[in-house]
Structure 1
């Protein structure tokens, strides 16, 4: 595995490649969820590139940019053992310049759900993903379904900008107790972890109701609110795959989304129906 820090150096290396390139962009503190993306990339491509970059532009003032987990040496070892060919680890100075041309999130779909209380968050997400895709020029890029709105917006950016890359959505990976894997799980105390499990439990309750024939969104949300009484709920929404609110669940075209704070840590989870 070759570690590359300079964007232009990586571009020079990869432009010489004639083989298919899979790309997994991450912010590091790698866990089994990231590994599932890396394994899929290794399986479907001849070369796999992983990036580790904690992107400052997607954090709002007061969020956890400074304390976001950074485990660079461990991450290097994980990538090497997983069969990654190139690990891209740029600095902020390598990636961002003063007075940049900006990529902006759409005015509606970028400011609902995750974007409602975090205005500008998706501007930063799309800015960095656009840069990384242009640096790597992958055949395929892999993103987790846990960040459902992010995935949707990246797919729209690729479509709107006519970018030559296949975006591959990957299923959520969970801990043995059902908690969706996240680099932020390390923040949790034992008691907080028990409360964080309520997110996945609320989604299980919703899934069970749907399996029993319930399609009314308000009834499903009511039951989820009951499960989540002990956490600080930010939103529970049921949308179609275009992120439009719906009144009735449509199998194959619905996503149930939940966001909540447990202690000082904010979590999201979802269920694709």
Structure 2
């Protein structure tokens, strides 16, 4: 695809796997490290925090923008997912980090086509798909996977393709999508990826609105002004559950307290004509994703963090969030 159809950019726009591989070979030849931030566009400060981390730790930084059809179920928002390439490039161009005497900026933007990424074609209907796909057996049906059963198959497939094309030294993901990030770290370990190795899949703390703590997300753009007032309810519920857990209460008690917070907000939202619906709040082992036993308390194995996570519908927008309870350094690095 010609770059003439894209907005002007001082950052090289690589619109095919072939053009990217030529760029990457030069980096290999020069012995330079490459950091990678995979995105679906609609960039916000959360994405930019990943870019900043990559700039600080790598000589070259690549960001990809690809809205992946395989991780959207047929009823989900593929067609309406925000696409804001001109604004994305402006934000990315403004990012820089000074390391010693060098000023580092984004080195390239990878903009592959659907045809390039799925040469055999792609359908949102899993039963109609043909070609090679990647599944994470035993790790994709819990947490987010319980509500979105084909989601992680789509994520694992597209990230495998991106890693094979980009061959990054380091890759960066946000904590907001913690199950996804941990699965991808395991993917690299299980499939013996050299680029990146599993230890070079980094999870960066969630970037939040400084006023109310809402996790930044591209889907926040779907919220009306009236709905936005109730969006922080999920994080507040998780914070309350964490405090109850810290006081030695059982997991069952923590969840019930969190649900009570949501119920209170739901009643307030209804007065304003906003539909608030809880999808789930749960506590899961960070290694197996198994649900923590209902009677368990804070005396779980100290070396295995627990993921306290949830999903909440505010109007037609589904929001997710999480808090890591325990040794954060085992996950966020």
With the length of structure 1 as denominator, give the TM-score of the two structures: 0.96
Unaligned runs of at least 5 residues, structure 2: 1-10, 96-104, 121-129, 267-275, 326-333
Q: In structure 2, the residue corresponding to 1:147 is in which secondary structure?
A: helix
Which residue pairs with 1:93 in the alignment?
A: 115
Matches within 5 A, 1:95-134: 95-98=117-120, 99-106=130-137, 108-134=138-164
Please say if 1:8 is aligned against 2:18: yes
Which residue pairs with 2:290 in the alignment?
A: 244
Matches within 5 A, 1:41-60: 41-60=54-73
Cα-to-partner distance string for 1:90-114 (whole Å, 9 max, x where unaligned): 12112111132221231x3211221
Which residue pairs with 1:208 in the alignment?
A: 243
Please say if 1:71 is aligned against 2:84: yes
2:278 counterpart (233, 240, 246): 233
Query: How many residues of Structure 1 are paired with residues of Structure 2 in the alignment?
Result: 271
Distance 1:145 1:217 in 2: 22
Cα-to-partner distance string for 1:173-214 (whole Å, 9 max, x where unaligned): 001211100001011112211221101111221232234x23
Instruction: Show structure 1 runs of 4+ deviating over 6 A.
Output: none
1:262 counterpart (286, 311, 314): 314
Cα-to-partner distance string for 1:63-113 (whole Å, 9 max, x where unaligned): 11100010001111111211211101112112111132221231x321122
Which residue pairs with 2:230 in the alignment?
A: 195
Distance 2:239 2:204 in 1: 19
Q: Using the TM superposition, give the Cα deviation of residue 236 of structure 1 relative to its aligned residue in structure 2, in angstroms.
A: 0.8
1:28 counterpart (16, 28, 41): 41
Unaligned runs of at least 5 residues, structure 1: none
Q: Using the TM superposition, give the Cα deviation of residue 240 of structure 1 relative to its aligned residue in structure 2, in angstroms.
A: 1.9
**2:42/2:84 contact within 8 Å kept:** yes
Aligned CA-pair RMSD: 1.3
Cα-to-partner distance string for 1:10-47 (whole Å, 9 max, x where unaligned): 01211221101100000000000000000000000000
Distance 1:42 1:210 in 2: 37
Distance 1:131 1:240 in 2: 28
Q: In structure 1, the residue corresponding to 2:91 is in which secondary structure?
A: helix
Q: In structure 1, the residue corresponding to 2:109 is in which secondary structure?
A: strand
